[in-house]
Amino acid sequence: MKQFRSKKEIQAWRDDHTGTIGFVPTMGALHAGHISLITRSNEETDRTIASIYVNPAQFNDPDDLNKYPKTLEADLKMLEQAGCDAVYIPSTSDLYPKGTHDLPHYDLGRLDHIWEAEYRPGHFQGVCAVVHRLLDVVQPQQLFMGLKDLQQVAVVRRLLTLLSINVTLTGCPTIRDAHGLALSSRNARLTPAQRVQACCIYEGFMRKLQPFEFEQFLLQNGFESVDYIARCEPNTLEPDDGNEHVVMLVAARIGGIRLIDNHFIS
């Protein structure tokens, strides 16, 4: 597996090959959820490139940024074993030559105000900034992202339209552990007891709890707070109680760690 630290090296690698490129952006601390995206890209494109970059522009909470797990050696092994062809590990100066202040503003409409956007102000502007920069550098034909971060997928879809970027975005299913907990790099910070309690999110989905009873269920099972639980239209993520085809969104905190998850209901 090739390892690149600069745009120039990627450009040379692109120019040396023909065929389609699939791209999987990550922030590292990789797990089987990330690897499922690599596998999907390997199936659908000629070459897969991942990136590992903890993007400061998308963290609204400095504590979350400082505590974000870093496991580069293990990440590289996992990518190699998954058959990833290349990985881009940029420095901030390579990715943002003009720094991370004064980034462009992206018109994301309501997606920049509801759910995650309400609780993490500026988060999606930061996501768009980094995805825009990374797509400029990597120039893939296909982009693979996890549906676990459903609003992020909707935001990036809008970004591609907004900037007329000709890249196909594939949203890939959420990978869970044996007890239903959605894999997440932040799970590494849960104690074993909290990890068991965190599975109540999945149990709530399986028991088809309505938002109010769902919230009570989480609060009775070790969660300190619930940011939102809502039934939404799956593309716009606007609240929707009437439709048969909806997605249930959940964001809640346990042990000071904020977990998000979702489940499609039809």
Using CB under 6 A as the binding rule, whether residue 201 contacts ligand AMP is answered as no
**Phi, psi at residue 233, to the nearest 5°?**
-70, 130
Using CB under 6 A as the binding rule, whether residue 37 contacts ligand AMP is answered as yes
Q: Which residues pair with 172 in a beta bridge?
A: 146
Q: Which member of 76, 86, 128, 183 binds ligand AMP (CB under 6 A)? A: 183
Q: CB of residue 24 vs ligand AMP: minimum separation in angstroms?
A: 7
Is 263 a known active-site residue? no
Question: For residue 7, what are the contacts with CB-CB under 8 A and spacing of at least 6?
Answer: 90, 94, 137
Site for ligand AMP in 131-170 (CB under 6 A): 145-146, 148-149
Considering only 67-75, 98-106, 171-179, 213-221, which stretch makes contact with ligand AMP by CB under 6 A?
171-179
Which of 34, 101, 132, 263 is catalytic? The answer is 34
User: 3-state SS of 230-257?
Assistant: EEECCCCCCECCCCCCEEEEEEEEECCE
Measured from the CB atom, the residue of 148 and 158 that comes closer to ligand AMP is 148
Residue with the two structure tokens 């009873």: 213
Closest by CA to 240, choosing from 265, 207, 206, 261, is: 265
d(CA 241, CA 95): 42
Q: Which member of 1, 162, 175, 196 binds ligand AMP (CB under 6 A)? A: 175
Measured from the CB atom, the residue of 48 and 185 that comes closer to ligand AMP is 185
Q: Which member of 4, 21, 22, 33 binds ligand AMP (CB under 6 A)? A: 33
| Site of interaction with ligand AMP (CB under 6 A) | 26-27, 33-34, 36-37, 145-146, 148-149, 172, 174-175, 182-185
